[in-house]
Structure 1
Amino acid sequence: MEKSDYKVIKSTSSDGSTIYSFVDKSGDSQLKVYDLMTGITLTHHSAHTNRFYSYPKKGESLIEIYHCREGRMECSYKDGYFYLMPGDLAIGIIENCEKEYIFPLNHYHGITITINTAIAPKCFSCFLEDVNVQPLKVALRLCSGNSFFIIRSRSYIEHLFSEMYKVPCDSTKGYYKIKVLELLLILSGVDPKENRLNTYTLSSSQVSLAKSAAEFIAANRDEQITVSMLSKRFNVSITHLQNAFKGVFGVTV
C-alpha cells in the first residue's frame, strides 16, 4: 500500500469512537479510535492488507503499546526485525517520524494504546491516589535504551487484554480508561530482564530471503515447488531458508 494510494473514509460510532477505514487495491485497514483522555488513545486495529502508514505530527514523541490478537505485525529493531504474534505485547518509543505497520500475512487484529508524552498526564496519581504511575518512566525503564520492549504471550497480559476485546457498548470509554491504568500499573512492576528481544530478531537478509521465497511461491502456484528447489534457487541452506521463512510468516515453507 503506497502512502498516497489509499482512500480514507471517516465515520463516528455510537459508542463515541471515531472509525477510519483505509482501502486500496491491496486490501483494507480499519482503525476504531477512542480518545480516552488528553494525549491518550486506544485503537482497535483490523487489517487485511500488507502494510499501513501513520503520520505523527512534527515534534511528537509517542509511546505505543501493541497487543496482537490475530495475525502478525513486523517491527524494525536496530539492524533487524521482530514479529508480534498472537498474545504478544510490545512497547515502542516513536520519536518524530512516520510509522509503517507491516503485516506479512495480510491479516492483523489487535489493540494499540498511544500516549503523546508532550500532552498526556505525567503521572496518574491525580486519577487514583495510590496509582503513582508515570508512563514515560515506565517505557524508558522497560526499553532501557532500545526502541522496543516485548513480552511474549504471558497469561497476565492475555487476561487483561481479553477483557478489552469484550466491552459493553454503554460503558466502553470509561472501561478502557480503567484498563489502561491497570495495564500501566502492571507494566511498572515488570522486570526489564524479561526482555529477550535480541533472541527473537531476524536480520534484514533473513527477512528479504523469506519474502523473496514467498513471492516466488505465489508467482508459481501451479508448479510443484520443494524446499530443496527453493534453497538452490536462492543459494542458501535448507535450514537457513526454513528458519527465515518460519520467523517471518510463522508457518513452514
Structure 2
Amino acid sequence: MKDSLEVLPGIELSVIHFHSERFTMHHELFSDVLEVNYCHRGRIGWDMRDGSSVFLGAGDLEIHTMDCCADSTITLPLGGYEGITVLFDMEVLEDHVPELLKDAGLNGRALLKKLCPGQTPLSLPASPEISGIFSCLFEVPQKLLPSYYRIKMLELLLYLEQLKPSHVNRLTSYQSELTVLIREIHDFITADLSKRFTIEELSKKYLINTTTLKKIFKAVYEKPIAAYMKEYRIRQAMLLLSQTDDSMADIAGQVGYVNQGKFTQAFKEQTQMLPTEYRKRCRLRKMEKE
C-alpha cells in the first residue's frame, strides 16, 4: 500500500506499507529525481542497475537518483516493510525553491552530484539526526500530518545540503549476484524445517566461502543464520499451533526439533510462554471472535 502526497512543488512524499517477500520495480529513467527512502519498520533491499545491492533496517536511510532503480528487484527479507519515500524533482525545485530555504543556497543539480556521484546510491545507518526528521511522522495526529510533512521535508533538504558523504559512515553494499545467492540459500534452508544444515554444508553446496556466507546473510536478513533460523522455526510453530490440531510432538518434528522437550524449551525462550499455553490463547481468541 502506498499513500502519496505532493508536499511542496517538486516534493512528493509517500508512506509505504509492503507485505511480500520480493517483487520487481519498473519505471522511466529519471536522472534529475532524487529518491530518499527511510525504513521505519521491517527490512528492505534493492538490486540496483549497477549490480549492487543494499539493505535497510529500522532507522536507516537510502538515497539514489531514480535512474539507479528503474529496473530493480526489491526484497523484503522479513516479509514486511513500513517506511517513507520522498521524491525530489530537482528541475522543479530549481524554479520553486521553498521560501524558507532561499537563503540556504540550495542548488538541486549540485546536491545530486554531491550525494550520488556517478549514480552511486548513498546508504546511511540509523542516527539521531535521521530519526529526528522521520520518526515523529508515524506518531502525530492525522490532521496535523500535512503541516508536519512540509516542515520535515524542508528539514530533510537542509540535512542533505549540509551532509558530507565522505565524512559519514555508510551501510555496506554487495554484489547483487551474491545477495541473490543468499536468498536462494534462505529459500533452501526454510523449505523443509525438519532438516538442519551446517554452515559448512551450505558453503560446499553453494560454492561460497563460509565467512562471506555468514556476513552477507546477516546483511540481508539482519541476524546470523543460527539466530534467524531459530526465530523462523518458532514463528512457523506458532502458525501450526494456531491453525492446526497437530500434536506437540508432530509440530516439534515439523519445525526441526528432535523431541518435544527441546521444542518446548526453545518456544518458551522466544515467546515467554509454553506452546500449550499459546495454542490455548489462540483458541480462546478464535472463540471470542465467533
Q: Classify the TM-score, shorter chain.
A: 0.7 to 0.9
User: Quick check: 1:159 aligned with 2:132?
Assistant: yes
Cα RMSD for the two superposed structures: 2.5
Structure 2 equivalent of residue 251 of structure 1: 223
CA gap 1:94/1:58 in 2 versus in 1, 3 angstroms? closer
User: Quick check: 1:150 aligned with 2:123?
Assistant: yes
Bigger Cα Rg? 2
8 A Cα contact 2:31 2:65, kept in partner: no
Q: 1:230 aligns with which of 202, 205, 221?
A: 202
Q: 2:155 aligns with which of 163, 178, 182?
A: 182
Gaps of 5+ in 1: 1-29
Within 5 Å, give how 1:6-155 maps onto structure 2.
Answer: 30-56=1-27, 61-77=32-48, 78-95=50-67, 97-98=70-71, 100-122=73-95, 124-155=97-128
Greater shift, 243-252 or 136-145, is seen at 136-145
User: Quick check: 1:192 aligned with 2:178?
Assistant: no
Gaps of 5+ in 2: 226-290
Counterpart residue identity of residue 38, structure 1:
P
Counterpart residue identity of residue 208, structure 2:
V
CA distance in structure 1 between the partners assigned to 2:30 and 2:217 by the alignment? 37
Q: How far 1:170 sits from its partner (Å)? A: 1.7
CA distance in structure 2 between the partners assigned to 1:37 and 1:80 by the alignment? 32
Q: How far 1:208 sits from its partner (Å)? A: 2.7
1:50-100 per-residue CA deviation (whole Å, 9 max, x = no partner) reads 234555457674211111112222123533212122111111101393554
Q: How far 1:168 sits from its partner (Å)? A: 2.1
8 A Cα contact 2:133 2:152, kept in partner: yes
Greater shift, 45-54 or 126-135, is seen at 126-135
Q: Which has the higher strand share?
A: 1
Number of residue equivalences? 223
Q: How far 1:238 sits from its partner (Å)? A: 2.5
Q: Which has the higher helix share?
A: 2
User: Quick check: 1:239 aligned with 2:205?
Assistant: no
CA distance in structure 2 between the partners assigned to 1:56 and 1:204 by the alignment? 20
Q: How far 1:195 sits from its partner (Å)? A: 5.0
Calculate the TM-score normalised by the size of structure 2: 0.68
Q: Say which SS state the counterpart of residue 37 (structure 2) adopts.
A: strand
CA distance in structure 1 between the partners assigned to 2:110 and 2:87 by the alignment? 15
